[in-house]
A and B are shown apart, each in its own frame.
Chain A
Amino acid sequence: MSTAPALAETVAAPAPRRRGRLLLPILLFGLLALAPLAVSLGMPSGWLALLTRAMIFAIAALSLDLILGVGGLVSFGHAAFLGIGAYVTGIMITEGQAEALLILPVVLGICALFAAITGAICLRTRGVTFIMITLAFGQMVYFLAQALSAYGGDDGLTLYAKSTIAGLDLFSTRTGFFYCVLAALAGCYALVRILVASRFGRILRAARENPVRVSVTGFDVTRIRLVAYVISGMVAGIAGFFLANHTDFVSPAFMSWQRSGELIFMAVLGGVGSLHGAIIGAIAYLIAEDGLSHLTEHWRVIFGPLIILFVLFTRGGIVGMLRKLGGGGGA
Protein backbone atom coordinates (compact mmCIF):
# COMPACT_ATOMS: atom_id res chain seq x y z
CA MET A 1 0.00 0.00 0.00
CA SER A 2 2.86 2.39 0.75
CA THR A 3 4.00 2.27 -2.87
CA ALA A 4 0.64 3.52 -4.09
CA PRO A 5 1.22 7.30 -4.25
CA ALA A 6 4.64 6.94 -5.81
CA LEU A 7 3.34 4.55 -8.44
CA ALA A 8 0.28 6.66 -9.10
CA GLU A 9 2.47 9.55 -10.13
CA THR A 10 4.54 7.58 -12.55
CA VAL A 11 1.97 5.31 -14.16
CA ALA A 12 0.05 5.93 -17.38
CA ALA A 13 2.29 8.68 -18.73
CA PRO A 14 5.95 7.73 -18.84
CA ALA A 15 8.03 10.81 -19.60
CA PRO A 16 10.02 9.64 -22.67
CA ARG A 17 6.89 8.57 -24.52
CA ARG A 18 5.27 11.91 -23.82
CA ARG A 19 8.26 13.83 -25.10
CA GLY A 20 8.23 11.73 -28.27
CA ARG A 21 4.64 12.62 -28.87
CA LEU A 22 5.39 16.33 -28.62
CA LEU A 23 8.32 16.23 -31.04
CA LEU A 24 6.29 15.95 -34.23
CA PRO A 25 3.80 18.76 -33.48
CA ILE A 26 6.61 21.11 -32.38
CA LEU A 27 8.50 20.35 -35.58
CA LEU A 28 5.35 20.84 -37.61
CA PHE A 29 4.43 24.21 -36.14
CA GLY A 30 8.06 25.34 -36.24
CA LEU A 31 8.29 24.60 -39.96
CA LEU A 32 4.99 26.33 -40.62
CA ALA A 33 6.13 29.43 -38.74
CA LEU A 34 9.23 29.61 -40.96
CA ALA A 35 7.29 29.32 -44.23
CA PRO A 36 6.97 33.10 -44.86
CA LEU A 37 10.75 33.31 -44.46
CA ALA A 38 11.17 30.68 -47.18
CA VAL A 39 9.02 32.80 -49.46
CA SER A 40 11.13 35.88 -48.82
CA LEU A 41 14.18 33.74 -49.68
CA GLY A 42 12.82 32.90 -53.09
CA MET A 43 10.01 30.34 -52.82
CA PRO A 44 7.16 31.31 -55.19
CA SER A 45 4.67 33.50 -53.36
CA GLY A 46 1.71 31.40 -54.48
CA TRP A 47 3.11 28.84 -52.12
CA LEU A 48 2.21 30.92 -49.06
CA ALA A 49 -1.41 31.17 -50.20
CA LEU A 50 -1.48 27.41 -50.70
CA LEU A 51 -0.10 26.81 -47.22
CA THR A 52 -2.59 29.25 -45.73
CA ARG A 53 -5.42 27.40 -47.44
CA ALA A 54 -3.96 24.11 -46.22
CA MET A 55 -3.86 25.37 -42.63
CA ILE A 56 -7.49 26.49 -42.86
CA PHE A 57 -8.50 23.02 -43.98
CA ALA A 58 -6.23 21.64 -41.30
CA ILE A 59 -8.40 23.37 -38.67
CA ALA A 60 -11.46 21.69 -40.18
CA ALA A 61 -9.76 18.29 -40.48
CA LEU A 62 -8.52 18.61 -36.90
CA SER A 63 -12.04 19.30 -35.67
CA LEU A 64 -13.27 16.27 -37.60
CA ASP A 65 -10.54 14.13 -36.06
CA LEU A 66 -11.95 14.89 -32.61
CA ILE A 67 -15.17 13.05 -33.43
CA LEU A 68 -13.84 10.70 -36.13
CA GLY A 69 -10.49 9.61 -34.76
CA VAL A 70 -10.99 10.14 -31.05
CA GLY A 71 -14.73 9.56 -30.78
CA GLY A 72 -15.08 6.96 -33.55
CA LEU A 73 -17.97 8.77 -35.25
CA VAL A 74 -17.72 9.01 -39.03
CA SER A 75 -19.45 12.27 -39.87
CA PHE A 76 -20.07 12.73 -43.58
CA GLY A 77 -21.51 16.19 -43.19
CA HIS A 78 -18.70 18.06 -41.56
CA ALA A 79 -18.32 20.54 -44.42
CA ALA A 80 -21.67 21.99 -43.31
CA PHE A 81 -19.89 23.64 -40.36
CA LEU A 82 -17.17 24.94 -42.64
CA GLY A 83 -19.89 26.37 -44.86
CA ILE A 84 -21.90 27.85 -42.00
CA GLY A 85 -18.78 29.58 -40.69
CA ALA A 86 -17.97 30.91 -44.14
CA TYR A 87 -21.53 32.07 -44.87
CA VAL A 88 -22.01 33.79 -41.52
CA THR A 89 -18.73 35.60 -42.15
CA GLY A 90 -19.67 36.43 -45.73
CA ILE A 91 -23.13 37.71 -44.84
CA MET A 92 -21.88 39.82 -41.94
CA ILE A 93 -19.13 41.37 -44.07
CA THR A 94 -21.65 42.06 -46.85
CA GLU A 95 -23.90 43.74 -44.30
CA GLY A 96 -21.02 45.97 -43.28
CA GLN A 97 -19.85 44.16 -40.15
CA ALA A 98 -16.30 42.95 -40.72
CA GLU A 99 -15.08 42.84 -37.11
CA ALA A 100 -13.83 39.35 -36.24
CA LEU A 101 -14.57 39.83 -32.55
CA LEU A 102 -18.25 40.13 -33.49
CA ILE A 103 -18.30 37.63 -36.36
CA LEU A 104 -16.57 34.79 -34.50
CA PRO A 105 -19.02 34.63 -31.58
CA VAL A 106 -21.92 34.50 -34.06
CA VAL A 107 -20.12 31.77 -36.05
CA LEU A 108 -19.44 29.77 -32.89
CA GLY A 109 -22.98 30.24 -31.60
CA ILE A 110 -24.70 29.18 -34.83
CA CYS A 111 -22.36 26.22 -35.33
CA ALA A 112 -22.93 25.10 -31.75
CA LEU A 113 -26.68 25.37 -32.17
CA PHE A 114 -26.68 23.52 -35.48
CA ALA A 115 -24.41 20.82 -34.01
CA ALA A 116 -26.53 20.45 -30.89
CA ILE A 117 -29.77 20.03 -32.84
CA THR A 118 -28.45 17.78 -35.62
CA GLY A 119 -26.14 15.89 -33.25
CA ALA A 120 -29.00 15.09 -30.89
CA ILE A 121 -30.73 13.41 -33.83
CA CYS A 122 -27.69 11.81 -35.54
CA LEU A 123 -26.33 10.34 -32.32
CA ARG A 124 -29.45 8.28 -31.81
CA THR A 125 -28.13 6.16 -34.66
CA ARG A 126 -24.93 4.22 -35.24
CA GLY A 127 -22.71 2.99 -38.03
CA VAL A 128 -23.87 3.50 -41.60
CA THR A 129 -27.09 5.20 -40.48
CA PHE A 130 -25.06 7.81 -38.62
CA ILE A 131 -22.98 8.46 -41.74
CA MET A 132 -26.13 8.80 -43.86
CA ILE A 133 -27.91 11.16 -41.47
CA THR A 134 -24.89 13.45 -41.09
CA LEU A 135 -24.68 13.44 -44.90
CA ALA A 136 -28.37 14.36 -45.11
CA PHE A 137 -27.98 17.30 -42.72
CA GLY A 138 -24.91 18.43 -44.64
CA GLN A 139 -26.85 18.39 -47.91
CA MET A 140 -29.70 20.24 -46.23
CA VAL A 141 -27.40 23.16 -45.43
CA TYR A 142 -25.94 22.95 -48.94
CA PHE A 143 -29.36 23.39 -50.57
CA LEU A 144 -30.29 26.07 -48.06
CA ALA A 145 -27.23 28.06 -49.15
CA GLN A 146 -28.21 27.56 -52.78
CA ALA A 147 -31.61 29.03 -52.01
CA LEU A 148 -30.15 32.12 -50.31
CA SER A 149 -30.80 34.35 -53.33
CA ALA A 150 -30.21 37.55 -51.37
CA TYR A 151 -26.64 36.38 -50.84
CA GLY A 152 -25.75 35.03 -54.26
CA GLY A 153 -27.67 31.76 -54.17
CA ASP A 154 -26.14 29.23 -56.51
CA ASP A 155 -23.47 31.66 -57.77
CA GLY A 156 -22.02 32.36 -54.37
CA LEU A 157 -21.21 35.61 -52.72
CA THR A 158 -18.19 37.78 -53.49
CA LEU A 159 -16.76 39.70 -50.56
CA TYR A 160 -15.37 43.20 -51.00
CA ALA A 161 -13.75 43.52 -47.60
CA LYS A 162 -11.74 41.37 -45.21
CA SER A 163 -12.34 40.99 -41.50
CA THR A 164 -10.51 43.14 -39.01
CA ILE A 165 -9.47 41.98 -35.56
CA ALA A 166 -10.26 44.57 -32.87
CA GLY A 167 -10.14 47.16 -35.64
CA LEU A 168 -6.70 46.05 -36.81
CA ASP A 169 -6.29 45.26 -40.48
CA LEU A 170 -4.28 42.06 -39.93
CA PHE A 171 -5.74 40.13 -42.85
CA SER A 172 -4.77 42.57 -45.60
CA THR A 173 -1.22 41.25 -46.11
CA ARG A 174 -0.50 37.66 -47.05
CA THR A 175 2.01 37.22 -44.27
CA GLY A 176 -0.30 38.81 -41.68
CA PHE A 177 -3.14 36.53 -42.66
CA PHE A 178 -0.82 33.53 -42.72
CA TYR A 179 0.24 34.12 -39.13
CA CYS A 180 -3.33 34.72 -37.98
CA VAL A 181 -4.37 31.37 -39.46
CA LEU A 182 -1.30 29.69 -37.98
CA ALA A 183 -2.13 31.12 -34.55
CA ALA A 184 -5.72 29.91 -34.85
CA LEU A 185 -4.55 26.46 -35.93
CA ALA A 186 -2.09 26.24 -33.04
CA GLY A 187 -4.78 27.41 -30.60
CA CYS A 188 -7.34 24.91 -31.89
CA TYR A 189 -4.74 22.14 -31.83
CA ALA A 190 -3.80 22.90 -28.23
CA LEU A 191 -7.44 23.09 -27.20
CA VAL A 192 -8.39 19.77 -28.82
CA ARG A 193 -5.29 18.12 -27.42
CA ILE A 194 -6.14 19.25 -23.91
CA LEU A 195 -9.70 18.03 -24.40
CA VAL A 196 -8.54 14.60 -25.53
CA ALA A 197 -6.26 14.24 -22.50
CA SER A 198 -8.93 15.44 -20.07
CA ARG A 199 -11.35 13.36 -18.02
CA PHE A 200 -13.94 14.07 -20.67
CA GLY A 201 -11.57 12.98 -23.43
CA ARG A 202 -10.73 9.73 -21.71
CA ILE A 203 -14.40 8.77 -21.56
CA LEU A 204 -14.81 9.77 -25.22
CA ARG A 205 -11.86 7.56 -26.18
CA ALA A 206 -13.10 4.66 -24.07
CA ALA A 207 -16.57 4.95 -25.63
CA ARG A 208 -15.10 4.62 -29.12
CA GLU A 209 -13.82 1.18 -28.20
CA ASN A 210 -16.45 -0.07 -25.83
CA PRO A 211 -19.56 2.07 -25.35
CA VAL A 212 -21.34 -0.63 -23.36
CA ARG A 213 -18.56 -0.77 -20.78
CA VAL A 214 -18.58 3.02 -20.51
CA SER A 215 -22.32 3.12 -19.91
CA VAL A 216 -22.30 0.43 -17.21
CA THR A 217 -19.48 2.42 -15.60
CA GLY A 218 -21.95 5.26 -15.13
CA PHE A 219 -21.48 7.56 -18.13
CA ASP A 220 -24.07 8.71 -20.63
CA VAL A 221 -22.26 7.89 -23.88
CA THR A 222 -24.67 9.81 -26.12
CA ARG A 223 -24.34 12.99 -24.08
CA ILE A 224 -20.54 12.81 -24.10
CA ARG A 225 -20.51 12.29 -27.86
CA LEU A 226 -22.90 15.20 -28.31
CA VAL A 227 -20.55 17.52 -26.41
CA ALA A 228 -17.69 16.38 -28.63
CA TYR A 229 -19.84 16.88 -31.71
CA VAL A 230 -20.73 20.44 -30.69
CA ILE A 231 -17.11 21.37 -29.94
CA SER A 232 -16.02 19.82 -33.23
CA GLY A 233 -18.65 21.79 -35.15
CA MET A 234 -17.59 25.04 -33.49
CA VAL A 235 -13.92 24.52 -34.37
CA ALA A 236 -14.89 23.73 -37.98
CA GLY A 237 -16.84 26.99 -37.99
CA ILE A 238 -13.64 28.87 -37.18
CA ALA A 239 -12.10 27.29 -40.29
CA GLY A 240 -15.06 28.60 -42.27
CA PHE A 241 -14.46 32.12 -40.99
CA PHE A 242 -10.87 32.00 -42.27
CA LEU A 243 -11.85 30.34 -45.54
CA ALA A 244 -14.25 33.19 -46.38
CA ASN A 245 -11.51 35.69 -45.62
CA HIS A 246 -9.00 33.72 -47.65
CA THR A 247 -11.02 33.34 -50.83
CA ASP A 248 -13.00 36.62 -50.55
CA PHE A 249 -15.86 34.51 -51.78
CA VAL A 250 -18.32 32.01 -50.32
CA SER A 251 -20.41 29.53 -52.26
CA PRO A 252 -22.57 26.48 -51.59
CA ALA A 253 -19.71 24.33 -52.91
CA PHE A 254 -17.95 24.94 -49.57
CA MET A 255 -20.35 22.51 -47.97
CA SER A 256 -20.93 19.94 -50.68
CA TRP A 257 -20.69 16.33 -49.67
CA GLN A 258 -17.50 16.03 -51.72
CA ARG A 259 -15.94 18.55 -49.36
CA SER A 260 -17.02 16.48 -46.37
CA GLY A 261 -15.41 13.47 -48.02
CA GLU A 262 -12.19 15.41 -48.58
CA LEU A 263 -12.07 16.28 -44.88
CA ILE A 264 -12.35 12.59 -44.00
CA PHE A 265 -9.57 11.82 -46.51
CA MET A 266 -7.33 14.44 -44.94
CA ALA A 267 -7.80 13.00 -41.46
CA VAL A 268 -7.26 9.43 -42.65
CA LEU A 269 -4.31 10.35 -44.85
CA GLY A 270 -2.50 12.00 -41.95
CA GLY A 271 -3.35 9.31 -39.42
CA VAL A 272 -6.64 9.26 -37.65
CA GLY A 273 -6.86 10.05 -33.95
CA SER A 274 -3.49 11.71 -33.54
CA LEU A 275 -4.73 15.31 -34.15
CA HIS A 276 -1.50 16.55 -35.70
CA GLY A 277 -2.04 13.78 -38.23
CA ALA A 278 -5.12 15.63 -39.46
CA ILE A 279 -3.03 18.79 -39.90
CA ILE A 280 -0.30 16.95 -41.79
CA GLY A 281 -2.95 15.15 -43.82
CA ALA A 282 -4.66 18.40 -44.82
CA ILE A 283 -1.37 19.97 -45.88
CA ALA A 284 -0.25 16.87 -47.79
CA TYR A 285 -3.64 16.58 -49.47
CA LEU A 286 -3.73 20.18 -50.68
CA ILE A 287 -0.10 20.20 -51.82
CA ALA A 288 -0.59 16.92 -53.71
CA GLU A 289 -3.79 18.25 -55.23
CA ASP A 290 -2.06 21.45 -56.29
CA GLY A 291 0.96 19.62 -57.72
CA LEU A 292 -1.07 17.07 -59.66
CA SER A 293 -3.52 19.64 -61.02
CA HIS A 294 -0.55 21.46 -62.59
CA LEU A 295 0.50 18.24 -64.32
CA THR A 296 -2.79 17.29 -65.95
CA GLU A 297 -6.41 18.34 -65.88
CA HIS A 298 -7.35 14.72 -65.21
CA TRP A 299 -5.46 14.82 -61.93
CA ARG A 300 -8.29 13.22 -60.00
CA VAL A 301 -7.75 9.98 -61.95
CA ILE A 302 -4.25 9.82 -60.46
CA PHE A 303 -5.06 11.34 -57.08
CA GLY A 304 -7.92 8.97 -56.18
CA PRO A 305 -6.04 5.69 -56.60
CA LEU A 306 -2.95 7.26 -55.01
CA ILE A 307 -4.89 8.02 -51.84
CA ILE A 308 -6.45 4.57 -51.77
CA LEU A 309 -3.07 2.89 -52.16
CA PHE A 310 -1.59 5.09 -49.48
CA VAL A 311 -4.35 4.35 -47.00
CA LEU A 312 -4.18 0.62 -47.77
CA PHE A 313 -0.44 0.29 -47.36
CA THR A 314 0.32 2.63 -44.49
CA ARG A 315 -1.33 1.75 -41.25
CA GLY A 316 -1.99 4.93 -39.32
CA GLY A 317 -1.42 7.29 -42.27
CA ILE A 318 1.54 9.64 -42.54
CA VAL A 319 1.92 9.94 -38.76
CA GLY A 320 1.94 6.16 -38.42
CA MET A 321 4.62 5.96 -41.08
CA LEU A 322 6.76 8.62 -39.40
CA ARG A 323 6.36 6.89 -36.05
CA LYS A 324 7.57 3.64 -37.56
CA LEU A 325 10.60 5.38 -39.09
CA GLY A 326 11.38 7.35 -35.94
CA GLY A 327 10.87 4.46 -33.55
CA GLY A 328 13.15 2.17 -35.58
CA GLY A 329 10.55 -0.57 -35.16
CA GLY A 330 10.78 -0.32 -31.39
CA ALA A 331 7.65 1.73 -30.78
Chain B
Amino acid sequence: MKQPVLTLESVRKSFGALKVTDDVSLSVAPGELHALIGPNGAGKTTLVHQISGMLKPDSGAIRFRGEDISALTPEKRARRGLARTFQITSTIASLSVLENVALGVQAKVAHPLSLFRNAARDAALNRPALAALEAVGLADRAEVPAGRLSHGEKRALELAMALALEPAAILLDEPLAGVGREEGERLIELLSSLKGRYAMLLVEHDMAAVFALADKVSVLVYGRVIASGEPAAVRADPAVREAYLGEEG
Protein backbone atom coordinates (compact mmCIF):
# COMPACT_ATOMS: atom_id res chain seq x y z
CA MET B 1 0.00 0.00 0.00
CA LYS B 2 1.25 3.43 -0.92
CA GLN B 3 1.04 6.10 1.79
CA PRO B 4 -2.10 8.18 1.07
CA VAL B 5 -1.57 11.83 0.08
CA LEU B 6 -4.72 13.03 1.76
CA THR B 7 -6.44 11.45 4.74
CA LEU B 8 -9.53 12.55 6.65
CA GLU B 9 -9.92 11.05 10.11
CA SER B 10 -13.32 11.31 11.82
CA VAL B 11 -13.93 14.85 10.60
CA ARG B 12 -17.03 16.44 12.11
CA LYS B 13 -18.68 19.78 11.52
CA SER B 14 -22.04 21.14 12.64
CA PHE B 15 -23.87 24.33 11.84
CA GLY B 16 -26.02 24.62 14.97
CA ALA B 17 -28.01 21.40 15.27
CA LEU B 18 -27.32 20.43 11.65
CA LYS B 19 -24.53 17.90 11.26
CA VAL B 20 -23.04 18.77 7.88
CA THR B 21 -20.03 16.50 8.27
CA ASP B 22 -20.63 13.50 10.45
CA ASP B 23 -17.60 11.40 11.28
CA VAL B 24 -16.14 11.36 7.78
CA SER B 25 -13.01 9.33 7.19
CA LEU B 26 -11.55 8.81 3.76
CA SER B 27 -8.21 8.80 2.00
CA VAL B 28 -6.80 9.53 -1.44
CA ALA B 29 -3.71 7.62 -2.60
CA PRO B 30 -1.08 9.19 -4.90
CA GLY B 31 -2.37 9.37 -8.44
CA GLU B 32 -5.79 8.17 -7.41
CA LEU B 33 -9.02 9.84 -8.46
CA HIS B 34 -11.46 9.54 -5.61
CA ALA B 35 -15.00 10.66 -6.41
CA LEU B 36 -17.31 11.99 -3.75
CA ILE B 37 -20.95 11.73 -4.70
CA GLY B 38 -24.20 12.31 -2.88
CA PRO B 39 -27.54 14.10 -3.16
CA ASN B 40 -27.83 17.89 -2.92
CA GLY B 41 -27.23 19.10 0.61
CA ALA B 42 -25.19 16.02 1.55
CA GLY B 43 -22.32 18.27 2.64
CA LYS B 44 -19.88 17.68 -0.21
CA THR B 45 -18.87 21.29 -0.77
CA THR B 46 -18.69 21.89 2.98
CA LEU B 47 -16.27 18.99 3.18
CA VAL B 48 -14.14 20.41 0.36
CA HIS B 49 -14.12 23.78 2.18
CA GLN B 50 -12.82 22.04 5.30
CA ILE B 51 -10.06 20.27 3.39
CA SER B 52 -8.97 23.47 1.65
CA GLY B 53 -9.11 25.44 4.90
CA MET B 54 -11.97 27.82 4.19
CA LEU B 55 -13.95 26.21 7.01
CA LYS B 56 -12.59 24.67 10.20
CA PRO B 57 -13.83 21.24 11.26
CA ASP B 58 -15.19 20.95 14.80
CA SER B 59 -13.12 17.83 15.41
CA GLY B 60 -11.09 15.22 13.58
CA ALA B 61 -7.86 15.46 11.62
CA ILE B 62 -7.01 16.26 8.01
CA ARG B 63 -3.62 14.87 7.02
CA PHE B 64 -1.85 15.98 3.89
CA ARG B 65 1.40 14.21 3.01
CA GLY B 66 1.64 12.98 6.58
CA GLU B 67 1.13 16.36 8.23
CA ASP B 68 -1.97 17.40 10.16
CA ILE B 69 -3.08 20.51 8.29
CA SER B 70 -6.43 21.04 10.00
CA ALA B 71 -5.24 24.19 11.81
CA LEU B 72 -3.54 25.77 8.79
CA THR B 73 -4.89 28.71 6.78
CA PRO B 74 -5.97 28.12 3.15
CA GLU B 75 -2.83 29.85 1.82
CA LYS B 76 -0.54 27.59 3.86
CA ARG B 77 -2.33 24.49 2.61
CA ALA B 78 -2.02 25.76 -0.97
CA ARG B 79 1.71 26.34 -0.46
CA ARG B 80 2.08 22.75 0.71
CA GLY B 81 0.65 21.61 -2.61
CA LEU B 82 -3.09 21.33 -2.05
CA ALA B 83 -4.97 22.98 -4.92
CA ARG B 84 -8.69 23.37 -5.46
CA THR B 85 -11.32 24.52 -7.90
CA PHE B 86 -14.73 25.94 -7.04
CA GLN B 87 -18.29 24.88 -7.74
CA ILE B 88 -18.99 28.43 -8.91
CA THR B 89 -16.08 29.36 -11.15
CA SER B 90 -13.59 31.52 -9.38
CA THR B 91 -11.14 33.39 -11.58
CA ILE B 92 -9.89 36.97 -11.70
CA ALA B 93 -12.10 38.39 -14.45
CA SER B 94 -10.05 41.50 -15.27
CA LEU B 95 -6.70 39.71 -15.50
CA SER B 96 -5.79 37.87 -18.66
CA VAL B 97 -6.02 34.10 -18.79
CA LEU B 98 -2.24 33.87 -18.67
CA GLU B 99 -2.05 36.20 -15.67
CA ASN B 100 -4.61 34.11 -13.83
CA VAL B 101 -2.47 31.04 -14.22
CA ALA B 102 0.70 33.00 -13.46
CA LEU B 103 -0.73 33.72 -9.99
CA GLY B 104 -0.34 30.06 -9.20
CA VAL B 105 3.16 29.94 -10.70
CA GLN B 106 4.05 32.97 -8.63
CA ALA B 107 3.23 31.10 -5.42
CA LYS B 108 5.98 28.60 -6.27
CA VAL B 109 8.88 30.80 -7.44
CA ALA B 110 11.53 32.57 -5.38
CA HIS B 111 10.54 36.10 -4.24
CA PRO B 112 6.84 35.61 -4.99
CA LEU B 113 6.01 39.08 -3.71
CA SER B 114 8.87 41.09 -5.15
CA LEU B 115 7.85 44.75 -4.99
CA PHE B 116 9.73 45.97 -8.04
CA ARG B 117 10.04 43.17 -10.57
CA ASN B 118 7.54 43.65 -13.39
CA ALA B 119 5.16 40.69 -13.42
CA ALA B 120 3.62 40.99 -16.89
CA ARG B 121 6.93 40.51 -18.75
CA ASP B 122 8.34 37.94 -16.33
CA ALA B 123 9.29 34.84 -18.30
CA ALA B 124 9.82 32.91 -15.05
CA LEU B 125 6.07 33.29 -14.50
CA ASN B 126 4.77 33.30 -18.05
CA ARG B 127 6.52 30.20 -19.33
CA PRO B 128 5.20 27.72 -16.75
CA ALA B 129 1.81 29.45 -16.93
CA LEU B 130 1.68 28.93 -20.67
CA ALA B 131 2.68 25.30 -20.24
CA ALA B 132 -0.24 24.80 -17.83
CA LEU B 133 -2.54 26.49 -20.36
CA GLU B 134 -1.31 24.16 -23.07
CA ALA B 135 -2.05 21.21 -20.80
CA VAL B 136 -5.71 22.26 -20.62
CA GLY B 137 -5.93 23.42 -24.25
CA LEU B 138 -6.29 27.15 -23.56
CA ALA B 139 -2.92 28.39 -24.84
CA ASP B 140 -4.50 30.26 -27.76
CA ARG B 141 -6.70 32.20 -25.34
CA ALA B 142 -3.79 33.37 -23.17
CA GLU B 143 -4.25 37.09 -23.78
CA VAL B 144 -8.03 37.23 -23.36
CA PRO B 145 -9.35 38.65 -20.06
CA ALA B 146 -10.62 35.70 -18.02
CA GLY B 147 -14.06 37.33 -17.75
CA ARG B 148 -14.60 36.92 -21.49
CA LEU B 149 -14.13 33.15 -21.57
CA SER B 150 -17.03 30.78 -22.11
CA HIS B 151 -18.20 28.85 -19.09
CA GLY B 152 -16.43 25.68 -20.14
CA GLU B 153 -13.23 27.59 -20.85
CA LYS B 154 -13.39 29.12 -17.37
CA ARG B 155 -13.64 25.61 -15.97
CA ALA B 156 -10.52 24.61 -17.87
CA LEU B 157 -8.80 27.80 -16.72
CA GLU B 158 -9.52 26.96 -13.09
CA LEU B 159 -7.93 23.61 -13.68
CA ALA B 160 -4.85 25.26 -15.19
CA MET B 161 -4.67 27.58 -12.17
CA ALA B 162 -4.66 24.53 -9.92
CA LEU B 163 -2.00 22.79 -12.02
CA ALA B 164 0.23 25.87 -11.86
CA LEU B 165 0.64 25.27 -8.14
CA GLU B 166 2.39 21.97 -8.99
CA PRO B 167 0.07 20.38 -6.48
CA ALA B 168 0.27 16.95 -4.87
CA ALA B 169 -3.52 16.85 -4.65
CA ILE B 170 -6.36 18.70 -6.35
CA LEU B 171 -9.83 19.15 -4.93
CA LEU B 172 -12.35 19.46 -7.77
CA ASP B 173 -15.71 20.83 -6.68
CA GLU B 174 -18.17 19.97 -9.46
CA PRO B 175 -15.89 20.85 -12.38
CA LEU B 176 -18.66 19.96 -14.85
CA ALA B 177 -21.44 22.01 -13.25
CA GLY B 178 -23.32 24.11 -15.79
CA VAL B 179 -21.16 22.99 -18.70
CA GLY B 180 -22.73 21.95 -21.99
CA ARG B 181 -22.38 18.43 -23.37
CA GLU B 182 -19.59 19.16 -25.82
CA GLU B 183 -17.48 21.16 -23.40
CA GLY B 184 -18.25 18.59 -20.73
CA GLU B 185 -16.83 15.82 -22.84
CA ARG B 186 -13.69 17.83 -23.43
CA LEU B 187 -13.32 18.42 -19.69
CA ILE B 188 -13.79 14.73 -18.91
CA GLU B 189 -11.10 13.95 -21.44
CA LEU B 190 -8.88 16.55 -19.81
CA LEU B 191 -9.44 15.13 -16.33
CA SER B 192 -8.66 11.63 -17.50
CA SER B 193 -5.43 12.93 -19.03
CA LEU B 194 -4.45 14.20 -15.57
CA LYS B 195 -5.30 10.90 -13.92
CA GLY B 196 -2.38 9.11 -12.33
CA ARG B 197 -0.34 12.30 -12.09
CA TYR B 198 -2.19 13.96 -9.24
CA ALA B 199 -4.22 12.72 -6.34
CA MET B 200 -7.70 14.10 -7.00
CA LEU B 201 -10.83 14.35 -4.93
CA LEU B 202 -13.72 14.89 -7.33
CA VAL B 203 -17.13 16.08 -6.24
CA GLU B 204 -19.50 15.60 -9.14
CA HIS B 205 -23.15 15.12 -9.97
CA ASP B 206 -22.62 13.78 -13.46
CA MET B 207 -22.70 10.02 -12.80
CA ALA B 208 -21.45 9.11 -16.25
CA ALA B 209 -18.36 11.22 -15.61
CA VAL B 210 -17.87 9.82 -12.13
CA PHE B 211 -17.99 6.20 -13.22
CA ALA B 212 -15.81 6.92 -16.24
CA LEU B 213 -13.10 8.62 -14.19
CA ALA B 214 -13.10 7.37 -10.62
CA ASP B 215 -10.77 4.77 -9.15
CA LYS B 216 -12.73 4.92 -5.94
CA VAL B 217 -16.14 6.29 -5.01
CA SER B 218 -17.47 7.45 -1.65
CA VAL B 219 -21.13 8.25 -1.12
CA LEU B 220 -22.04 11.06 1.25
CA VAL B 221 -25.60 11.32 2.58
CA TYR B 222 -26.55 13.81 5.33
CA GLY B 223 -22.87 14.32 6.09
CA ARG B 224 -22.11 10.61 6.54
CA VAL B 225 -20.17 8.30 4.27
CA ILE B 226 -22.62 5.45 3.67
CA ALA B 227 -20.46 3.54 1.22
CA SER B 228 -16.92 3.66 -0.11
CA GLY B 229 -14.97 1.48 -2.48
CA GLU B 230 -14.55 0.42 -6.12
CA PRO B 231 -17.05 2.11 -8.45
CA ALA B 232 -18.73 -1.18 -9.41
CA ALA B 233 -19.14 -2.27 -5.78
CA VAL B 234 -20.56 1.12 -4.77
CA ARG B 235 -22.97 1.08 -7.67
CA ALA B 236 -24.25 -2.32 -6.59
CA ASP B 237 -24.57 -1.37 -2.90
CA PRO B 238 -28.28 -1.58 -1.96
CA ALA B 239 -28.02 1.26 0.58
CA VAL B 240 -26.55 3.53 -2.09
CA ARG B 241 -29.22 2.56 -4.60
CA GLU B 242 -31.90 3.40 -2.10
CA ALA B 243 -30.41 6.63 -0.82
CA TYR B 244 -29.16 8.07 -3.98
CA LEU B 245 -28.75 6.30 -7.25
CA GLY B 246 -32.22 4.81 -7.13
CA GLU B 247 -33.80 8.23 -7.09
CA GLU B 248 -32.33 9.03 -10.43
CA GLY B 249 -33.84 5.93 -11.98
Contact = CB atoms under 8 A, between A and B. Distances in A.
Say whether A associates with B: yes
A189 B98 CA distance: 27
A217 B113 contact: no
Contacts of B77: 216
Interface stretch (A5-13, A83-91, A97-105, A241-249): A5-13
**A interface, over-half SS:** helix
Given A4-B134, A11-B130, A198 B114 contact: yes
Given A217-B161, A218-B107, A209 B94 contact: yes
Contact of B90 (A7, A13, A14, A213): A213
Contacts of B84: 216
A215 B75 contact: yes
A76 B94 CA distance: 26
Interface string B59-78: 00000000000000111011
Contact of A7 (B92, B93, B102, B142): B142
B113 to A, nearest CB: 5
Contacts of A200: 113-115
A173 interface: no
B129 to A, nearest CB: 8
A213 B95 CA distance: 13
A9 B111 CA distance: 20
A7 B116 CA distance: 23
B181 interface: no
A185 to B, nearest CB: 20
Given A198-B114, A212-B54, A217 B107 contact: yes
Contact of B119 (A11, A14, A201, A217): A201
Given A213-B90, A213-B92, A218 B115 contact: no
B99 interface: yes
Interface stretch (B36-44, B120-128, B230-238): B120-128
Interface string A208-223: 0110111111111100
Contacts of A212: 54, 74, 90
B113 A203 contact: yes
Contact of B123 (A9, A14, A216): A9
Contacts of A7: 130, 139, 142
A5 B123 contact: yes
Interface string A1-44: 10111011101111000000000000000000000000000000
Contact of B75 (A13, A202, A206, A220): A220
B94 A199 contact: no
Contacts of A203: 103, 106, 113
Give the interface residue-count category, chain A.
Answer: 35 or more
B203 to A, nearest CB: 15
A205 interface: yes
A218 B109 CA distance: 12
A197 B126 CA distance: 14
B161 A4 contact: no
B92 A210 contact: yes
A124 to B, nearest CB: 14
A195 interface: yes
A114 B160 CA distance: 40
B91 interface: yes
B104 interface: yes
A194 interface: yes
Nearest to B114: A199
Contact of A214 (B99, B103, B134): B103
A263 B218 CA distance: 56
From B90, B103, B127, residue with most partner A Cβ within 10 Å: B103
B131 interface: yes
Contacts of B122: 199
Contact of A202 (B74, B90, B106, B108): B106
Contacts of B115: 194-195, 198-200
A196 to B, nearest CB: 10
B119 to A, nearest CB: 4
A12 B99 CA distance: 7
A201 B99 CA distance: 12
Contacts of B54: 212, 216
Contacts of B98: 11-12
Given A12-B143, A199-B117, 9 more contacts: A4-B130, A8-B126, A199-B112, A210-B90, A215-B78, A217-B107, A219-B112, A220-B73, A221-B75
The 5 closest A-B pairs by CB, nearest first: A218-B107, A218-B78, A8-B126, A13-B120, A202-B119
Interface of B: 52-54, 73-75, 77-79, 83-84, 86, 90-96, 98-99, 102-104, 106-108, 111-123, 125-127, 129-131, 134, 139, 142-143, 161, 165
Interface of A: 1, 3-5, 7-9, 11-14, 194-195, 197-203, 205-206, 209-210, 212-221, 224, 227
20 contacts: A5-B123, A7-B130, A8-B123, A9-B123, A12-B98, A12-B99, A197-B118, A199-B111, A199-B115, A200-B113, A209-B93, A213-B91, A216-B74, A217-B78, A217-B107, A217-B161, A218-B108, A220-B75, A224-B113, A227-B113
